Structures are given as structure tokens and as C-alpha cells.
Structure 1
């Protein structure tokens, strides 16, 4: 639980990043963002956001570390393989089939991180088109992280990073790099000829204008880091970027439950959506202002919203067709009455049920276009699905602009049901009129009650869906954070393993030296405890290394009068040099043979200090 003061400090930090470094994180989800910032603050031992803001002002190099922590660049080749299989088998063939043989194919990989996703797209299209046709394909790979883009342009990946690439694709699309030291494959480079199809560039989804005329837009597990308002505005930009009928490919934590007017699912389980054509002018105007700037307040946008609200909330059911005979608009009453949904917008009017029911309207449209500006059709009976009968007067009118140019046709349905019923009721007795009115009133109240209940249930379901979606996005965000941390730990573990191998090699090398010496070598610390006891020492004195390591040398019972070495060892520890520290003593080895043992005491130097003594024992030649 955070206090208002801490929240204000955090917002001040985000505003500082936005205005001084051009990174706008104000549209990101606060829970994930605060975790990442606190993680960086813990690394440099800072507890308060205000203190960290001061630290950033004094240490500009800290921005790079902070951005690397905030921008979670977790991605792999063909991430979530079943999703990619569906894309390659169902979506990409449709895109290719819709194009002429020489027509370009434009792809946008938004939030591409270190490039694995963009190169996965290149491999998928090459499998379908062949390498000779890849000059048609342009893959625009964008991200806000310059460091990640630099890595992506190099197109060089470790064996662990290409683990998800199928063996056939790895052999066809990557060139191995062999290490000159051990002859093993150290990394893989994506094919240079196919790299020309991928164009990397920095792009901020919140602030920069979208790329246009896109056939496929891939943005996986990126939207989940933004709050709901920012997500909606980014999706409006995506809608503008896509061609009519273009495809949107999202991550497994992203659903688009609240954007049914802009995108419709091809397969919701694989998170593939297609664009719904003819977005409202209001949504297009959001592209003019930066997303972070809030709602549009220009006179034009206000006028557009007023006109839309007046049309949509009008008391008369109204349908508009364009000059091509396609359904262009339908207000709320018409949509509710005739079952018109967003997918019908843009379809030919003659293909819709309303063109022939409750009355044939196609010929009336032709009459209007032939010169009769308004055509009336009266006393039209409409039988709804619920079995109710309604009566309408239909007005078909030509729409023109100020200059008299034709724009389309307006079809208005004036509800005459009540008037019709009143006329019929006048013919009956007054009692029957009262009864009919009471029944009608009761029916209206029941319908209103049912409508309110259904609306309440619908709101509850929408709230539940939004909560589940938010929870799913939060879990996926935490999963990517854990994966990022795991990769960092793996890197540290690899470094530890390398250091351990180097230490083992050094120990084997030292052991080889000690074994190769002809004499006995014993190393003592300053407390005269045995640290090294080589193999020759075992052979001479009959004690194994495990028996003497850590033991006081002067307490060992071997065939050497070790007590006579006390003075020489002390002289060596005190820095008194030869010849006082060389001595020859009679000794008996483990086999009982007598010998003259020449002992040399040498100080063990470390960090310019005497750390111990090295005793070299050799048999004196007779």
C-alpha cells in the first residue's frame, strides 16, 4: 500500500523522465513500473523516489541502467509455437493470396526488442514465398530501446537464444560462428541476404505517428504494460496503420475485449484479429494529437462528436447508404430494431435483410437517384423477432452537400405504431381503449425492467472480463520479469562456471608442478600448519596429504628431526635470508633408509607480506 506522498514522488519521477529524456512512461501500468524502478533503486541502495530523482540529475549515466531495467526485452524466436503455426498456416497465405505477384507486402513488428520476432517473420515468409521473392516483403521492426535495436541489427545470437528455432530453419537461415579457441560453435548469425528485408528503427508507440498501409501488424506482449486508456489509443493508431482487412497478431495475454468496433477476431484463442473498415472520424482525429495529451478539444473534433451524437441518439430509426450502394451509417434505434451490427457497415445494402424486409427498398433508392428527391412509403408493417407488429412510414431522401453534389441516400423509419393502434382503438368502445392502454403500459414497463436487468448483468460481465484481463496481463508481466531475472542469473552462473574452470586448471597446473619436482615440498602458513604436502613428501615420510593438511608441522612424527627446523622457519617468517635458512639434517625415510636431507626454507610472499614458508627437501648426493 502506497501513501499519497509516495505516489506524488513517483509521478514526479515519471514526468522528469518524460520532459528531460523523452521517455513517456506515464501511460504504463503503475504496479509493474514501480516494481522495476524499486528494483533499480535497491541495486544502488536508494529508498525514496525523490532521492532517486536527485541521483539521476547528478549521475546522467544512471539513465541507461534505469531504462534497461524498465524496458523488459523478453522475447524468443517463434515464441508460443502453436500461435506461430496458426499464423503461418492460416494468416500469411491469405495475405499473399490477396496480393498481385509483384505487389509489396508490408509488415510491422512493434516492440521487437532484440529482433527475434522480426527474424521469425522473415523465416515464415521465406518458407512460403522462397528467398527469391523476399524482395517484395518489407518488415519494419521498431522498439523504443536503442540498445536492444543495436543488438537486433547485429543479428547475432547465442546457442541458447536460438534454442526455439527448428533444426531445419536453423540450418537454412543461420550461419554458425566457430570459436577459434576451442573449435566449438559460439554463436549464430542470421542470413545476410534475408536481413535486407528487415528494417529496424526507433519508434515510440505513445508519441510517434504509426507506419501506414500495413498488411500484418505483430505486437506481442507489449500492450499489456500500458493502462487501459493508453491501450485504447494505441489500438486506434494500429487501426489506422493497417490496410482494410489487415491483420493484427497479439500476445497470449492480450484479448481486445473492449475494441470490437475496430477489430474482429479471426481466431481468439491464437490472438489473431482483422481490421474492421471505416473507422469513425473521431478515432482518426486522435492520430493528430499525442496520446499522452488526453482527449481532443479542437473545434473540429467537438463538432464531429456533436454530429455523431445527434445522429446516433435521434428518435427516428435512420439508415444512410453511400453512392456505391453500401451501408455507411445506422443510428442506435435502427441498429437495435433491424439487428444491424458493426460488421454490416461497408457491405452492399442490397445484401442486407433490411433492403427487402419489411418492404422492398432497392427500387425506391433507384427512384431517388433517377430524380425524385424524396419517396414516401406509408403504412408499412414490421413483424419483429419477438412477434410484435409495428407500423412505419418510410421516407427515402437524397443527401446532397451545399454545392448540390450527391452524397448518398437517407432512409428514415417513422414509427407510426402508436398512431395506428390509437386509430384502431377509437373504433372500439372506451372500455376497450382503457384496457388496451393499460396492457400496453404494463408491457412497456416489463420491457424496461428487463432491459435494465440485462444492462446491469452486461455491465457486471464487462467488469468481470476487464478484471480478468487485467489480472492476466499482470501475471504475464510478472512472468516476463521473472524470465528476465532468470536470464541474468544464468549469465552470472556461466561466469562463475568459467571462473571455476580457470581455478581448476590453475590447481591442476600447480599440482603438476609439485608432482614433477624431485624433492619433497611442504608449504606452511604463519602458524606452521601444513597447507601443501606433495606426492614426494608422501613417498619420503609415509604420511598422506589428507593426514597432515592443517596439522602443526613441528608435531609431525616423521623420519626428520623437524624440531631442529624451528629456528630456520622463524628466521624465514621474520625475513632473515639465506644462508641461515638452509640446513642439512640426517633423516630416515618411510622405507627405513638413512639419508642426508638438505632443507631450504623460502618465505611465501603474498601482497608484499610473508604469508608462510616453503620447505624444499632434497637428498644430498654422497
Structure 2
């Protein structure tokens, strides 16, 4: 992005904040640019400056823009395995810590249209019972999008939305209404929905359980740190934090400890003394560390979702997880070797200079879309590589370098397949539109475009967040393509029915039928006319009747064919036809007598549109 484009983009964000109260400065810039670029493409605008002017002229565009930026992707019991962990591990521990009769306070941050909050209500009601749930539970659900909150407050969802709710829970907690299914009114009173900006507004306090699933990944690193501090303040002690599968808190180990790292469930802890937490350095062998802590660290690293290599401050390999061992053919003998001596230091990408830059600037570096042609595989693989500095303590000195290799080959292929599908759909749409000019040509982008996979966190999951967002965008676009395809199929059926009707109508009029417009240009040329005159459809359609090379004496018939002033008695009139017998020459050059019936063609408003000629051969006398 040029300095001018960057300035226009910042001016646009400032306008949104000043005029509508939406501050997007803490969101990831790449995500915002991609979403806004889609609006520019839809409106055929070239830059952010033009779009800013358009917003001033068309206030309704603000709503469409916010629908695109505030990606309200949610669902009942989203990621069922994670919800099962919450139900079986977190909720019993939470209720046991609170004691009998104590009020349980829950906060669903970034609740979108409310499915997450109502899922949690069902879990707690099942655990406590309906009566105790009404007495003890308060669920606070917040979001930035007021339109989504209105849907959540109504608590009414379509049958498609509640498909993910288990059947027994659906019968217990939902009531059929005219618009769909409504969550039980007596339990609905325990949920409070309100607008809250996580980057600016004060957090809800004394919360026992906080759900912020796939919310942090939209913010940049600095804003993420600020929000995590607010979450730590909001939680009671003990308090539990439930995040989305693309989010982790590895750089906030002084505030949260994992309950189930794979399911992204964390527990609040107090601040650790400075210098006592060093997950990667040699101090992890200090006497105050328990053996199970070391086992937990080893298990967390070994089962990581991406290949990881840790280099100590001397540049030697300190740790390698199982994915990295398999991917780069490493073994325990490589531990302690200089990283620059290993093949992975320069293949699939030159990392030695990148590591030196990270060591010097103390700032993470990312390499995206790195293509690697491995000899053992037929197809190339694509990786995003993240190189991050590891500190011995917050704000301390460099303890080592972490290198993460995330395989994004599948997502790259999905993007390519989607682009190809878009091109094929556009081609099919153009062909259909040439046959049916009245077909609707646009379908607005779904308001709830799926979460984008562009976000990444500075710890080890920044790349994973980005991919989560892109994956949900693909799902949204697939839904949109399916709707357009359904519309095209319906229009094709209508067009086929209309063509069949016209064909049957023409056949019923006689063996040879021709329809001409007011200027005597051929509109319809039946199969009988082809047989009679030997002129194909494509040779007749669109040409002047007198220009056709056929044996019909058109010139002699012109007075009957051409429009005449009303009342002079010439030519067919409304409701009647004119019959004449003419001598002609058929396709074989033989004389033939024809009975020609001329009928006027009228529109619905009685305006003349042309003439219908029905030509029948008369038997030889």
C-alpha cells in the first residue's frame, strides 16, 4: 500500500469512528482492507477516497459496510467437542468452587446473534436444573453490532439455525412460534444482552465464566493484550476463560493457565513474580517447578498444531516437536546442533537472515505462501512461517527464537477452486441472461459472511487465526453461489416452459408458419416453413421477408402485410384474419398453390406488433 492509500484508509477509519462511533483502529488492518475492498469491488470504486465520498452521499452504505466488517458468525454448540469439555470439566469445577446457592455470573463477549449465550444457558440449566438455573444464573451477552443484538434479544431462530441443537434439548428449551422457534421465555429472563466495545468499554466484573470464542483473532497484537488484561480483571477467582479454536494465550501465562489447551479452556491465575516464568529457557528446571509442569510443557509442544523448532540464544536447536521431526526428517541427535548447519535453515526458505533480523530487532517476522517442492511428494506444499523472539520474562532479554511452520496447502487449493467456480458460474450466468433479459442479475453478499482466517496472534497462533477467518469466508461464498445457482435453475425451468408453449402454439397454427414484426422482419420460422421453402431457421430469423430467397410472391402481398390507416378496409383487423390464395414455387422449384392466412399480432395493450402468416399447400386440381 502506498503512503497515499494508507492515509486514505486511515481517514476512512477515522470517519467511521467520528460519525458512527465504531472504532476499528484496534482491528487487524489486513482483515479490514480485504472486507472494505469487497465493497469497493461491488460498487465499482477504485480507492478508499472515492468510497469515503460515497458513504457521505449514501448513508445506507454504512449498514452494508458494518454487516461486512462485523462478521457475525456463530451457531448453537459450535465445535461440539469443545462444548463437551466445557460441560464435563469446567461447569462441574465452577459450580463446586462457587458452593450451593451462590450466584453464577457468565459473560459471552462477542455473542453476535446470541446462539452461544443460549447454548450456555442450556448447559447450565441441564447441570443445575431449571428452577436453580432461574435462581442462581445470570448470563451477560455483549456485542458491538446492535442489529445482531436485536436478533439475540428476540430469541427466535429458524429451523435451520437450531439444527445443531440436540433433539432432546430442542424439545425442552425451544417453543414453536410463527417465525420459527423461540427460546423458553421463563429462562430467557436470565440472559441480558447489551452493546459493549471490548477495546474501550469497561468489562463486566466478578464473572465466573467468560466466553470469547473467535473474537480475539480479529484484533491486532496490541489490542489483544489490552483485551486479555480486561478479561483477567473481569474474571473472579477462580474464573474460567473459553476461547475459540484459533486462539491461544501462550504469551499470557502469568494471567491464565490451561485447563484444556487443545479445547482452548483456561483458568485465571494471579500475576507471577518477575523472572519466575520461563517456558523455554533453562530455568524451567528450577526446583520450584514440579515434574508434572515439565510434562505438561512437553506434551503441549509435542502436540502443537504446527511444526515448531526452538533455538536457544546461542543459535543451537533446543526443542523440536513431533510435527517438525516428521516434516524435516529431524531426530534427537539434532538437538544441540547449530541451526544454521541443518537443511531446514535454508529449505523451504532462507531463515538464517530472518532469524538474525528477529534477534537484532526483537520483533516477530512472518513469511507467507512459501512453496516447497519436497522430493518425497508429488505436489508442492505451501507454508506460512512465523519467527518470533522468546523472552526469559515479560520485557526481559532474549532467551531464544521460536520458528513455526504452518501448512496452508489445503486452504490455498480451496481459494483456487473457489476462483475457478466463480469463473464458471459467471460464464453460465452470462449465457442464461442472453436468453432471459428479465432475470435478476445480482444477489447481495450474505450479511453474516463467515469469519476470516487472516488473523494470527503474536505468540504462536497468529497464522492459525488468519486461516480460520479465510475458511469461513469460503463457506459464506459457497452459500451465496448455491443461492445464485438455485435462482438460475428456476429461471431455466421457466424459460423451458415458455419455449415449449410457443413451440406447441406454432405447431397448432398450421404446417408452415412465419411471424414477422411491424417492419416485416422474421421473428418465428416454423419447421413447416423450413420444409416448404428449404430455408433454415438461422437463415430466416431477423431478415426482411422480402429479402428471403423463397418462392412466395411477397411483393404482391405487401398491401396486405404493411400497416394501413384505420378504417380503409385493407388488411386484417383486430379479431379477424385475411385469407388469400397465391401461386408460388416450392423448394424443389415446382409450381404450387398456397392458401395464406394473415392475422395481426397484438400486444396486451392492443398495440400492433406484427403479422402471423399461416401457409398451407392446396391440392392440385
- TM-score normalized by the length of structure 2: 0.59
Please give the residue correspondences for 1:415-430 in structure 2 after superposition, counting only pairs within 5 Å. none
| Aligned position for 1:475 | 467
| Aligned position for 1:396 | none
| Aligned position for 1:305 | none
| Aligned position for 1:567 | 558
Contact 2:125 2:133 in 1 (8 A): yes
Contact 1:573 1:612 in 2 (8 A): no
The C-alpha deviation readout for 1:191-249, integer Å capped at 9, x for no partner, is 44443333222111111111122222111111001011111110111112122122111
| Aligned position for 2:571 | 580
State the alpha-carbon separation in 2 of the partners of residues 243 and 496 from structure 1: 55
Which runs of no fewer than 5 residues in structure 1 stay unpaired?
179-185, 281-307, 318-333, 345-450, 588-594
State the alpha-carbon separation in 1 of the partners of residues 559 and 97 from structure 2: 94
State the alpha-carbon separation in 2 of the partners of residues 519 and 194 from structure 1: 74
Which runs of no fewer than 5 residues in structure 2 stay unpaired?
277-282, 294-391, 406-456, 583-592, 617-621
Please, what is the CA RMSD of the aligned residues? 4.8
> Do structure 1's residue 603 and structure 2's residue 601 form an aligned pair?
yes
| Aligned position for 2:332 | none
Greater length-normalized contact order (CA 8 Å, ≥ 6 residues apart):
2
State the alpha-carbon separation in 1 of the partners of residues 2 and 226 from structure 2: 29
State the alpha-carbon separation in 1 of the partners of residues 568 and 205 from structure 2: 84
| Aligned position for 2:401 | 460
| Aligned position for 1:150 | 150
| Aligned position for 2:55 | 56
| Aligned position for 1:429 | none
State the alpha-carbon separation in 1 of the partners of residues 11 and 45 from structure 2: 16
Contact 1:532 1:549 in 2 (8 A): no
Contact 1:142 1:202 in 2 (8 A): yes
Question: Once the 2 structures are TM-superposed, how far is the Cα of residue 564 of structure 1 from its aligned partner?
Answer: 9.1
Question: Once the 2 structures are TM-superposed, how far is the Cα of residue 578 of structure 1 from its aligned partner?
Answer: 7.0
| Aligned position for 1:24 | 23
| Aligned position for 1:210 | 203
> Cα gap change, 1:473/1:337 in structure 2, threshold over 3 Å: closer, same or farther?
closer
| Aligned position for 1:125 | 124
> Do structure 1's residue 110 and structure 2's residue 103 form an aligned pair?
no
| Aligned position for 2:288 | 339
Question: Once the 2 structures are TM-superposed, how far is the Cα of residue 541 of structure 1 from its aligned partner?
Answer: 11
> Cα gap change, 1:604/1:195 in structure 2, threshold over 3 Å: closer, same or farther?
farther
Question: Once the 2 structures are TM-superposed, how far is the Cα of residue 120 of structure 1 from its aligned partner?
Answer: 2.1
**Larger Rg computed on CA atoms:** 1
> Cα gap change, 1:42/1:129 in structure 2, threshold over 3 Å: closer, same or farther?
same
State the alpha-carbon separation in 1 of the partners of residues 120 and 62 from structure 2: 32
Contact 1:597 1:617 in 2 (8 A): yes
User: Matched residue of 1:127: which SS?
Assistant: helix
Contact 2:153 2:193 in 1 (8 A): yes
User: Matched residue of 2:461: which SS?
Assistant: helix
State the alpha-carbon separation in 2 of the partners of residues 176 and 550 from structure 1: 62
Contact 1:265 1:272 in 2 (8 A): yes
| Aligned position for 1:435 | none
The C-alpha deviation readout for 1:74-111, integer Å capped at 9, x for no partner, is 22222222212222222223333444454332221111
Question: Once the 2 structures are TM-superposed, how far is the Cα of residue 513 of structure 1 from its aligned partner?
Answer: 7.9
The more displaced of 16-25 and 200-209 is: 16-25
